[in-house]
Amino acid sequence: MLRSIVAPRAAVRASPAWQLARAYSSSTKEYDTVVIGGGPGGYVAAIKAAQLGQKTACIEKRDTLGGTCLNVGCIPSKALLHNSHLFHEAQHGFAKRGIDVGQVKLNLPQLLADKDKAVSGLTRGIEMLFKKNKVDWIKGSGQLKSPTEIEVALNAGGVEQVAAKNIIIATGSEPSPFPGFEIDEKQIITSTGALALEKVPEKMIVIGGGVIGLELGSVWSRLGSQVTVVEYLPAIGAGMDAELAKTFQRSLAKQGIKFKTSTKVVGSEKQNGKVLVAVEGAKSGKQETLEADVVLVSVGRRPYTEGLGLENVGISVDKRGCIQMADEFRTAVSNIRVIGDATVGPMLAHKAEEEGIAAVEYITNGHGHVNYNVIPSVIYTHPEVAWVGKNEQQLKDEGVKYKVGSFPFAANSRAKTIDDAEGLVKIITDAESDRILGAHIIGPNAGEMIAEACLAMEYGGSAEDVARTCHAHPTMSEAFKEACMSAYGKPIHF
């Protein structure tokens, strides 16, 4: 999400007299709510606070709003995923559809420029929303000086004092470092560097078989790179249903991506313009050296709170660096709340947005809502993978009796007519009540289809509820309906 850079300052413990003096300082700007961080959680919280009548400011150091997600994360990666898929289809899929286009060439600078255009349009849009909702954007790095005071090192120079009745920390996260790999964003890169490579590497190694690594690995594989994914765990897609993970890996392997699972990365060395990566079997200990032009380090993300001044107000973090959170998103200081990647839970933009709205609602009227059992995850490769709720292994571990219904896209008329029928929909329900406990989809438009599962689960819907709801024909969503039919009875078309 957001990497809102905050400048280190010496710890200052505010006294009541100091606070009183600051309150009457003519140079101090006063607000009802101040949000530190302008990523998905932060900017949404700021807009919502203003909409609910609060005088609101958002502190963000980037020259553009939107945090990591909009600038160097979710949005630019989706642009590259979409356009690289079109390039791959033009090369390998158009001819069988009766479309002859001749030799297809990659214009990488234009591909990257199109990505940048999407990013700039959306970030400017957030700035317009700030103006529309009368949110003040303070451009700089914020540090907590007391429970109600923030000192901002302005980008333009100088320092500004800000007073707030309520503070929301939304400083987001940054890529986790990996021992033995020095990031230069040219040869050894993070997700940021993977969005701006100046040429297609002949060989790329991706360390980590999670969402980010698989998405960006897919981009460069489609554009012509020989991609190898190294994953310490036995399967890719951590958190994914085991059945879907196996199907997913087979699909990506057919596209040319190689996998080394149950493999430990030991270290790296640059040699003759290449990067040599030492690996060994996680169980066997068998050693091997892999060679690549570019290595993408994608082993997760960590909360970004450096220089925020948490120690000045008595807020602590856990061993992962997450700010500890109590009820209503409160930290150890009751008027300071925390949302998004800076605290516990999945590091997802939509989770942060929900928390941002709920935190502001708690401030305004004492009530807020986030259902953490209904936070969807999506991998925007091709095929897409999406899931929400529990998978089979989790339910087994919890001793919950369940039923499973599934339906393949190979039996879905829309998927067959567009020759994109790989994958399936899998629905898991409570064995007694038929209530949907989890939904897992691999296939075309999975990221859009998962919303139906989220809505059904949010309102305690059953598989029969969905199955008895009319779905348009022919659509991919009919596969979801038939999977629900399968969960409580039998499907019609399979």
Q: What is the DSSP string of 401-467?
A: -EEEEEEEGGG-HHHHHTT----EEEEEEETTT-BEEEEEEEETTHHHHHHHHHHHHHTT-BHHHHH
3-class SS at 97?
Answer: helix
Assess contact for 285 and 197: CB atoms under 8 A: no
Catalytic residue among 82, 369, 471, 473: 473
Name 264's bridge partners: 280
493 among known catalytic residues: no
Cβ 453 vs Cβ 389: under 8 Å:
yes
The CA distance from 213 to 207, in Å, is 7
Cis peptide before 491 (omega within 30 of 0): no
Please answer whether residues 167 and 54 qualify as being in contact, where contact means their C-beta atoms are separated by less than 8 angstroms: no
Total Cβ atoms within 10 A of residue 293: 18
Q: Which of 139, 170, 136, 169 is nearest to 153 (CA)?
A: 139
Instruction: Give me the sign of the Cα torsion angle 13, 17, 20, 25.
Output: negative
Instruction: Please list, in sequence order, all residues whose beta carbon lies within 8 angstroms of the beta carbon of residue 93, skipping any fewer than 6 positions away.
Output: 419
Q: Which two tokens stand for residue 291?
A: 């060679």
Asked whether the bond before 383 is cis by omega within 30 degrees of 0, the reply is yes
**Integer distance in angstroms from the first to the last C-alpha of the chain?**
41
Q: Give the total residue count for the chain.
A: 494
Among 212, 255, 256, smallest CA distance to 231 is for 212
Enzyme catalytic residues: 473
